A and B are shown apart, each in its own frame.
Chain A
């Protein structure tokens, strides 16, 4: 597997695809501005918690990094209010209220785990680890919201892919014997 393998699916010439292209164009640069209820330091707190969660459920680095990417992308693909009105994009992306940030973390980690792990945690595992602040239904809804906001564009290049490529290029071995560095 090389980096060039992980490219977005080919553009299919329809208006729908074009809409997707626009939706996926959002840069991660300063995306916090798009989330009126969010502050930079909250992302840090969330990520620390996801690291804990990954250790608890023994998730692979691949899963963790994909989860982080999905969290960032779903917050970044949201137009600001002016953009939404100006470009007719009301209803695109997702605005995350402060108290739903951890729920977003659960949903994104869950999606990543389903894609990468042999035995992904269940929704009840996420309800438990987040101390029962969310009901199952909320996590399930959030999961679907993320998939829809990202238009099911869920496969992304993460730092793990780069780490793996660099290690190969420097003629080192894989990261660690027991650390799955993704599909390669």
Chain B
């Protein structure tokens, strides 16, 4: 702790608080996450240990870098990351920042690169949303929020908790309480973020409950059936459900994303697919013609990350 100057609190989570700080030696800005030390019977927080482990595996241009970690005298663990100036959430909400279609292409490209790196190392992120996409001053996107991430060997019998993902980015199979989801679950969230970039508002906004979120999804993609999702019937929620759901047909995405170019919609359609086994993987998505077609993605240095002063924050 003595090596850092705390400047201000940035945020507060269930298990941790985040501060903006400065390294005393180098004046380098850092983000510091302090895990709460209230449950001292558990010793050093295992979430912190796992995050240290995962981030040391994942060293990538688009994944946040762990700079340091230490324990404070009151037994709390502090993880120190490189400092990111803004998040995609802040960019999307700031109406003074224009988002052109080459900009969108660069944003989603950086996200897919990060995702590809995670999945290649067999790490499921499980909490993708615009609040976890941070940007350095030079426009480089850095993925954060590995609190819920875990190693996944890809074996279909591995049990995973459905208690992950933020509601609006939660894939249908997880909403249906599947415990065997895989990397394709992250891809659903990627698709939601892609849609959000184009619409400039969250795409599927369920109201507080998982059922309402499922309802939102089915209203756009149609209710699941034998042809669009063959494995649907064995998911726990479908298996136990006694209430018949009136079948709804899928809506065409072209009607929702009227301003989007055709190749973007084609990519979106191949990512946001009900059946997880039919979703594109991150590396397949990166090879989609959308990324080679004109216009090329905006160079990341030219991305506009904040509105002109005085609205600096």
Contacts and interface: CB of A to CB of B under 8 A. Distances in A.
B71 A154 contact: no
Interface stretch (B6-14, B62-70, B223-231, B292-300): B62-70
Contacts of A154: 49, 52-53
Given A110-B43, A114-B49, A140-B43, A147 B122 contact: no
A114 B25 CA distance: 33
Interface stretch (A6-14, A31-39, A81-89): A6-14
A5 B57 contact: yes
B151 A123 contact: no
B253 to A, nearest CB: 37
B69 A152 contact: yes
Contacts of B57: 1, 5-6, 155, 183
Contacts of B70: 148, 151-152
Interface in A111-128: 111, 114-115, 120, 122-123
Interface size class of A (residues with CB under 8 A): 20 to 34
Contacts of B26: 13-14
A14 B25 contact: yes
Looking at A7, A17, A115, A148, the one whose CB has the most chain B CB atoms below 10 A away is A115
Nearest to B67: A12
Given A115-B50, A115-B53, A144 B25 contact: no
A29 to B, nearest CB: 25
A16 B56 CA distance: 18
A14 B75 CA distance: 24
Contacts of B41: 122-123, 136, 140
B23 interface: yes
Given A140-B40, A155-B56, A111 B151 contact: no
A16 B53 contact: no
B42 interface: yes
Nearest to B23: A14
Given A5-B121, A16-B25, A115 B49 contact: yes
A120 B46 contact: yes
B152 to A, nearest CB: 9
A143 B49 CA distance: 12
Interface string B297-311: 000000000000000
Nearest to A66: B53
Interface in B139-169: 151, 153
Contacts of B46: 114-115, 120
B53 to A, nearest CB: 5
Contacts of B151: 183
B75 A144 contact: yes
Looking at B42, B44, B52, the one whose CB has the most chain A CB atoms below 10 A away is B44
Contacts of B252: none
Given A123-B41, A123-B43, A16 B49 contact: no
A15 interface: yes
A184 to B, nearest CB: 8
A78 B45 CA distance: 25
Contacts of A122: 41-42
A123 B66 CA distance: 28
Contacts of B121: 1, 5, 183
A65 to B, nearest CB: 14
Contacts of A17: 68
B212 interface: no
A70 B57 CA distance: 18
Contacts of A144: 43-44, 71, 75
Nearest to A143: B43
Interface in B267-298: none
Interface of A: 1, 5-10, 12-17, 110-111, 114-115, 120, 122-123, 136, 139-140, 143-144, 147-148, 151-152, 154-155, 183-184
Given A140-B41, A155-B56, 13 more contacts: A9-B59, A9-B65, A12-B68, A14-B3, A16-B3, A110-B43, A114-B44, A140-B75, A147-B44, A147-B77, A148-B71, A152-B52, A152-B77
